[in-house]
Amino acid sequence: MDSVIVDNTSAAVDWSLIKDIFLIFFSLLCGAWINRTFIERRAKLLAYIGHIAEFDIQEQTLSTHSVVLINAGKVAANNVRVQHKTLPEFFQIKPPLKYLIEDIDDGGKDIVFEKLIPNDEITIHYLYSSTKGHELGIAEIHRGIRSDEGYAQVLNVLPSRQYPQWAIRLLAVLTVIGLATIVYSVFKLVEWVIRLSDVVG
């Protein structure tokens, strides 16, 4: 009877091909992230609550706070709406910018800005009073901020050192390089372990 020789080389894993596929996939992910973060031309609204203060005056509380709105994108944001459940009677916009007040069906009001250009920053200062049984605060005033391009990202802001834009971009590039190095090292380690197990087996 003729003996049958089985060629096991065909069952071997082509690590070179797997590595190439992985690197292509990883490069596409990094390219998409870099494009969306640094290159893509789109509006990006950011908002955060500024100073908050309260003053107890006789039987009422006089309160004030501000909302800072920034277009951190590369194109203008259109029809920016600062939405309110209750709009205080006294508010001020700095720097001055043309706006409209639109009534909403459920009783709320929107402050509407026709356009915020890239890197534009405005602050809306509110002044309002509350009495016992008729409390008015941030939760009762604000509803949300949006534009034709989407909703604003609301930030929880803490005082921190501000770094120049070039340093932030350099850090992003170094982060990508470091992540790629770690992933590649893990890949090589797994490859070495599998080859070692084949030799031992």
Query: How do residues 85-117 score in pLDDT, each as one tens digit?
Result: 999 999 999 999 999 999 988 889 999 999 999
The answer to whether residues 62 and 103 belong to one domain is yes
Q: What is the pLDDT of residue 33?
A: 67
Same domain assignment for residues 49 and 118: yes
Same domain flag for 144 and 187: no
pLDDT tier at 164 (50, 70, 90 boundaries)? confident
Do 62 and 21 share a structural domain? no
The secondary structure of the chain as a DSSP string is: -------GGGGS--HHHHHHHHHHHHHHHHHHHHIIIII-----EEEEEEEEEEEEETTEEEEEEEEEEEE-SSS-EEEEEEEESS--SEEEEES----EEEE-TTS-EEEEEEEE-TT-EEEEEEEEEEETTB---HHHHEEEEEETTEEPEE------PPPPHHHHHHHHHHHHHHHHHHHHHHHHHHHHHHHHHHHH-
Q: Which residue, of 116, 131, 154, is where some domain finishes? A: 154
**Residue 35 located in a structural domain:** yes
Is beta strand 45-57 parallel, antiparallel or unpaired with respect to 90-94? Answer: unpaired
In a domain, 81, yes or no: yes
Parent domain of 29: 14-40+162-200
The answer on 140 and 106 residing in a single domain is yes
Residues 117 and 94 in one domain: yes
Write down the residue that tokens 């990508």 correspond to. Answer: 176
CA neighbours closer than 13 Å in the CB half-sphere of residue 130: 17
Residue 86 lies in a domain: yes
Rg (CA), the chain: 28
Q: Could you count the other beta carbons within 10 Å of the beta carbon of residue 45?
A: 21
Tens of pLDDT, residues 17-74: 666 677 777 777 776 666 666 555 678 899 999 888 988 888 788 999 999 999 988 8
149 and 86 in a common domain = yes
Model-wide pTM > 0.75: no
Choose among 190, 178, 164: nearest CA to 30.
178
Domain identity same for 135 and 170: no
Who's near 93: CB < 8 A, 6+ residues apart? 99, 111, 122, 123, 124, 125
- What proportion of the chain, given as a percentage, has pLDDT over 90? 34
Question: Same domain for 54 and 147?
Answer: yes
Q: Same domain for 187 and 110?
A: no
Structure tokens at 100: 């409209």
Number of domains within the chain: 2
Point out the domain boundary residue: 154, 173, 190.
154
Report which of 88, 99, 43 is spatially closest to residue 66, judged by C-alpha positions: 88
- The lowest-confidence range among 119-123, 144-148, 149-153, 191-195 is 191-195
**pLDDT band at residue 80, thresholds of 50, 70 and 90?**
very high
pLDDT attached to residue 63: 92
CATH number at residue 72: 2.60.40
**Average pLDDT for the chain:** 80
pLDDT for the residue 122 = 95
CA 65 – CA 124 distance, rounded (Å): 8
Assigned domain for 4 exists = no
The reply to whether 144 and 170 lie within a common domain is no
In the chain, the largest separation of any two C-alpha atoms, in whole Å, equals 110
114 and 195 together in one domain: no
Residue carrying structure tokens 């203008």: 76
Q: 92 or 178: whose pLDDT is higher?
A: 92
